[in-house]
Amino acid sequence: MSRPSARKAAPKGEYIETDSGNKVSRRSAITGTANITLGGRTVIMADVHLRGDLHPTRAAPSTSGKEPITTSISIGRCTVISTGSVIRPPSRISRGEVHYYPMKIGDNVFIGPHCTISAISISSHVHISHHVTIHPFAMIKENVKILPHAVIPANMVIPSGSVVGGQPARVVGEVGEGWGVGGGVSGGIGGGEKGGEKGWVEGGDLRELVRSVK
């Protein structure tokens, strides 16, 4: 929305790169940029919709007089959000009003193409395949793999180290001990790290994974 300055400064290309190494596609739809934090080296691809405008409105009593900075979506480091995904903070109706809750996404999270994510928190090293729907207030712990086309029901807690799939999703297996090991730096889009050493998360080269996303 409000990136005219960035558009002028950045060289022509698919991605705008920030100082901390985040790469945000010019074709992504980001609303409420003030309420979104990106950890660094995070990739946001084209047609991703980040609904930062749905921020918590339950205003704390303004003692300082200033408008408190509300974060609605916070995304960690080296996270990839693939094309066509919608990230939307969860909401709940209480006393006749809609309240949004801040959403947290950890480090090294891969969100596949065409997902709809409304989880309250996604921890680190989570791999979400394509066409996954996560209903509001689901909580996903570390080292979780979500299989394609899964639908995570609302309020579900997925314990760490599990593989989930199905509609509604249930735990169908466990990831191996080697999950996420060495996936320290990922998300370089065809980037400088040659050798395939860096982008390795679980069974696949994340770089290849990212490249295969249309």
**Interface residues toward another protein, by CB under 8 A:** 13-15, 129, 135, 141-143, 145, 147-148, 151, 153-163, 168-171, 175-179, 181-182, 189-192, 194-197, 200, 202-205, 208-209, 211-214
Taking the least distance from each CB to another protein, the nearer of 68 and 182 is 182
How far apart are CB 61 and another protein at their closest, in Å? 26
Taking the least distance from each CB to another protein, the nearer of 6 and 34 is 6
How far apart are CB 40 and another protein at their closest, in Å? 19
How far apart are CB 192 and another protein at their closest, in Å? 7
Taking the least distance from each CB to another protein, the nearer of 49 and 130 is 130
C-beta of residue 184 within 8 angstroms of C-beta of residue 77: no
Taking the least distance from each CB to another protein, the nearer of 3 and 131 is 131
How far apart are CB 197 and another protein at their closest, in Å? 6
